[in-house]
Structure 1
Amino acid sequence: MEMGNDVALSVRNLKTYIYTNNRCNRALDGVSFEIRQGKTLCIVGESGCGKSVTAASIMQLLPTLSRIEDGEITYHGPDGPVRIDALERDGAKMRAIRGKEIAMIFQDPMTALNPVYSIGFQIKEMLRYHTSLGRKDRHSKAIDLLRSMGIPLPERRVDEYPHLYSGGMRQRAMIAIAMSCNPRILIADEPTTALDVTIQAQIFELMDTLKRENGTAIMLITHDMGVVAELADDVAVMYMGNIVEAGPVGKVLRKPVHPYTRALLDSIPVLGRGKDQEIKAIPGQTPDPYNRPTGCQFADRCAYRVSACDEMPPETMVADDHRVMCWRYQEFMADAAE
């Protein structure tokens, strides 16, 4: 993969392992991708495929018994490239980047917000740590941020506590905290899991506006293919710690060349096709991460399995911007071209 000059963050061959009771889960087993300025990369996959571990690795927020074993995470900042994987987890340099340059919106805003501090306090804390604004300016900036996130009566609500906010408003407050320092990269880990679809649409619209107006690079973790079709510029499909297919959204969704991507697309209803359409569930379960098959991780659930699948397929470039890990990708390419 060539390094464009618009790349905000690049990940190369990242391996993050989690250790428990003398067993090792290879949560990420050689993952590579890049996030581009002003673009959205969607990472899709089932629960447990390593999406959140990827985010935690980039933010250096991994649990204690896990570590980056190999690979590089490079942040291409205004002062030149910084190897994030080489920084101390809680060192001054990492803390300066975390929040200011690379911000994260967590999956559940109720657990990510501190219940004993007002929303305003939590936004101002971020501003106090990362900017040189005075006390009054921090207060008015907090109100402006809440207003720009579409929260009504921000002058009053800035002093309220998280439990007085609804789910959608808490998520907006989370985004306000994340966007308070105009980060260059925003990582959103399933930011609308607990919200209804109207609020979901509003939150995604908000993120899209931020991307357009601030040129923010966004990495959006989701398992919803509809969201991907709507928001992504690039897609990486993850399964059991590997990116099995990646490329521009048009190619991956229109001409998928990995059976897993196809299975994901077949498992969602298509609007306008009526109630007679066939929706296929993916058979079986994801394998036990502590006791994995030796070859292709998807083989046991795959309708196209052949004996070659007992070995791990290499990553193959099927076009200069589209890659896949599958032994039979050529057949799928031929049949996608028809």
Structure 2
Amino acid sequence: MEKETRENDVILRVKDLKTFFYTNNRCNRAINGVSFDIRKGKTLSIVGESGCGKSVTASSIMQLLPELSRIEEGEITYFSSDGEVNIEKLPKNGKKMRSLRGSDIAMIFQDPMTALNPVYTIGFQIVENLRAHMNMSRKDAKKRAVELLAQMGIPNPEQRVNEYPHQFSGGMRQRAMIAMAMSCNPKVLIADEPTTALDVTIQAQIFELMMKLKEDFDTAILLITHDMGVVNEVSDDMAVMYMGNIVESGETRDVIKHPAHPYTKALLQSIPILGKGRNQDLEPIRGSTPDPYNRPVGCQFRDRCDYMTEKCGEMPPEEMVSEDHMVRCWHWKEVLK
């Protein structure tokens, strides 16, 4: 019964997604068979080192991939109120995709300077989004833009709404962009490291606002982050990515308490624990991520793993540790001991 409820709650499903990049006659399998569900009113966190494919996954969902890349296989299904929408089949700049972007599915980008247009005021850019998707008058949209900036903790929002991105500090630009993404109360909010440029006080405010959006509008959130503390605090489910594959996924508390993949375990061991002081032993993950154009055969983590055997020359299948806890590792039972 619980599984059926979880199925009915799914608002966005990614199944066997493969997104490849092509440069100089070489292919980077940036996303190589990724599957996950995002549920209404829940937060799914994707964690992993830089270059593992987190942001490419988000760009694939938003159909914002660069020119020399494409979705080779897989499905991205958005369960809208009007029925299923196969995002991977929609033209990038087609009418349907443009109507979804910013209204039903919104994204907070990692770098606000590349996401905001430098020749338009912050207010104009928020107003444009509101008018395009919410059928508002210019006056009401401007009023709403001021409210959003105030909610984000920006001082003098009535004045700042008429200023340009270069007049804002890095953290304030990030907050303005978050305001824009949250302006239309989206059904799915993709947050790509939304608080990177912000101090901890503002970080807490932003996550509070995101949680409020989740509670008030049943918004599903896909959170991309490096911060395991944030993951533990705000997410319901989590997926651990490594070199274009999800190597472990499940309910956040279960994965953090009982990591079954050597990579997840290594990530958790490399993080300082509050209250243990400066004498605690931190174990960095040895080595570095392999060249994406010259990947190892089989398990991608094998050369950095303490559990490596000959069997790791083959890619491990997905195995269920428990009903909702998945892992891709030949030695997961040893890892759990």
TM range (shorter): over 0.9
In 2, Cα distance between equivalents of 1:266 and 1:141: 44
Residue 114 of structure 1 aligns with an amino acid whose one-letter code is N
Deviation per CA, 1:202-227, whole angstroms, max 9, x where unpaired? 22222222222222111010111111
Deviation at 1:85, TM superposition (A): 0.6
- Residues 1:58 and 2:61 aligned together: yes
**Gaps in structure 1 of 5+ consecutive residues:** none
Residue 45 of structure 2 aligns with an amino acid whose one-letter code is C
Instruction: Give the percent of matched residue pairs that are identical in Structure 1 and Structure 2.
Output: 68
In 2, Cα distance between equivalents of 1:256 and 1:268: 14
2:271 corresponds in structure 1 to: 268
- Residues 1:187 and 2:190 aligned together: yes
- Residues 1:48 and 2:47 aligned together: no
- Residues 1:88 and 2:91 aligned together: yes
Seen in structure 2, the aligned counterparts of structure 1 residues 162 and 107 have a Cα distance that, compared at 3 Å, is: same
Q: Secondary structure at the match of 1:285?
A: coil
Deviation at 1:241, TM superposition (A): 0.2
Q: Secondary structure at the match of 1:326?
A: coil
Q: Which moved more, 1:14-23 or 1:187-196?
A: 187-196
2:312 corresponds in structure 1 to: 309
Deviation per CA, 1:94-148, whole angstroms, max 9, x where unpaired? 1110111000000011221112211100001111221211121121121222222
Q: Which moved more, 1:313-322 or 1:49-58?
A: 313-322
In 2, Cα distance between equivalents of 1:75 and 1:207: 21
Deviation per CA, 1:168-195, whole angstroms, max 9, x where unpaired? 2222211111111111000011112222
Residue 112 of structure 1 aligns with an amino acid whose one-letter code is A
1:163 corresponds in structure 2 to: 166
- Residues 1:258 and 2:261 aligned together: yes
Deviation at 1:231, TM superposition (A): 1.2
In 2, Cα distance between equivalents of 1:269 and 1:132: 48
- Report runs of 4+ in structure 1 exceeding 4 Å deviation: none
In 2, Cα distance between equivalents of 1:214 and 1:147: 20
1:104 corresponds in structure 2 to: 107
- Residues 1:286 and 2:289 aligned together: yes
Deviation at 1:65, TM superposition (A): 0.8
In 1, Cα distance between equivalents of 2:276 and 2:309: 33
The partner residue of 1:115 within 108, 115, 118 is: 118
Aligned residues: 334
2:300 corresponds in structure 1 to: 297
Deviation at 1:42, TM superposition (A): 0.5
Deviation at 1:70, TM superposition (A): 0.6
1:21 corresponds in structure 2 to: 24
- Residues 1:277 and 2:284 aligned together: no
Deviation per CA, 1:236-283, whole angstroms, max 9, x where unpaired? 000000000000001100000000000000001101112221000000
Residue 240 of structure 2 aligns with an amino acid whose one-letter code is V
Scaled by the length of structure 2, the TM-score of the pair is 0.96
In 1, Cα distance between equivalents of 2:171 and 2:183: 18
In 2, Cα distance between equivalents of 1:32 and 1:112: 27
In 2, Cα distance between equivalents of 1:155 and 1:201: 24
Residue 324 of structure 1 aligns with an amino acid whose one-letter code is V
Deviation at 1:4, TM superposition (A): 1.4
1:75 corresponds in structure 2 to: 78
**Gaps in structure 2 of 5+ consecutive residues:** none
2:135 corresponds in structure 1 to: 132
- Residues 1:318 and 2:332 aligned together: no
In 2, Cα distance between equivalents of 1:148 and 1:201: 13
In 2, Cα distance between equivalents of 1:97 and 1:173: 21
1:233 corresponds in structure 2 to: 236
Residue 184 of structure 1 aligns with an amino acid whose one-letter code is K
In 2, Cα distance between equivalents of 1:165 and 1:206: 21
Scaled by the length of structure 1, the TM-score of the pair is 0.96
In 2, Cα distance between equivalents of 1:219 and 1:109: 18
C-alpha contact (below 8 Å) 2:47/2:224 kept by paired residues: yes
Residue 31 of structure 1 aligns with an amino acid whose one-letter code is V
